[in-house]
Amino acid sequence: MNKKIRYKIPQESPDYPEQSAYVLERISQIMQQAIDSGKNLIFIHTNLKLGLPLENINKVAGPFVEAWAHEQFETIREDSNNLYELINVQAGKRLDPFDIILQFKRQNNSSGYISANVDVKATAEDIKTSGKSPNITSYQRIRNEYLDDPDYIFIVLSLKHRVYGEKDEVAGMTKGIMEVVSHSEYDLKFISSADLNYNPALGTGQLQIRDIHYVDLEKRTAWEFIQMLDEKYIRSKGKDVWLKLARQNQWIKEKE
């Protein structure tokens, strides 16, 4: 990159890695508890005698699994003395890059409240390519988020599911059952460069995870993450196009 460009450099808190690890652990515990306790079934009732079209169920699974995850978090939040210190759950708006906002209150830590933005991704256990390489968010949007808030926590929650049907002999209908069987959680900022693809096809480009089932992690700062994203964008569209976008979004300091 041009060394003469004066970048606006985000400075995150020294304890960001600890906060990220805390959030990831809490989300993992909540998801595992739901699976272990048998609360991982989603029942889908239809009047289709042949049941759900299982070969295409991955096309509609996302909203069901997202709603299930939201419900698990909300159930925990309703207990004001819950072990996970979860105090607030809020659904994202339609155009938000995340599906759920979680807020935790760390009782024995000076950091106090921690908010995490969670993007839920559903993948089918029995369809190899289902949800394997999901879009995450736009390059421009996520770069702005980390510049505006260097402590921005964006979690990708991957939920693997399988679907099967049970015949109701009395009604003659088949009841669809969607079962969440496993989970993985990643801090977007720590996903390795090799596992993050840049797809220039939409707008300013979309970030994609190469294979959500196999993700390597690299600890980095918000500034290092932004630099990595910039390099991917410039490699695809060129430095002049990037500079125009940077000026539009005020990512750099212009000379007076």
What is the chain's length? 256
Do residues 49 and 69 lie in contact, with contact meaning Cβ atoms separated by under 8 Å?
no
In a domain, 59, yes or no: yes
- The yes-or-no verdict on residue 184 having pLDDT over 60 is yes
- Does any domain span residue 235? no
Query: How is residue 97 written in tokens?
Result: 């890059």
Domain hosting residue 141, numbered range: 12-190
- Answer whether residue 212 is part of any domain: no
Radius of gyration of the chain (CA): 21
Q: What is the dihedral of CA 28, 30, 36, 42, to 10 degrees?
A: -110
232 located within any domain: no
Give the pLDDT score at 1: 46
pLDDT of 108 > 70? The answer is no
In the predicted structure, residue 159 carries a pLDDT above the cut 90? yes
pTM over 0.85: yes
Q: Is 42 inside any structural domain?
A: yes
135, part of any domain: yes
Residue 222 lies in a domain: no
- Residue 143 is predicted with a pLDDT of 97
What is the number of domains present in the chain?
1
Which tens digits make up the pLDDT trace of 75-100?
999 999 999 999 999 998 877 788 99
| 243 belongs to a structural domain | no
- Residues 96-124 have a mean pLDDT of 86
Tens of pLDDT, residues 45-57: 777 776 677 666 6
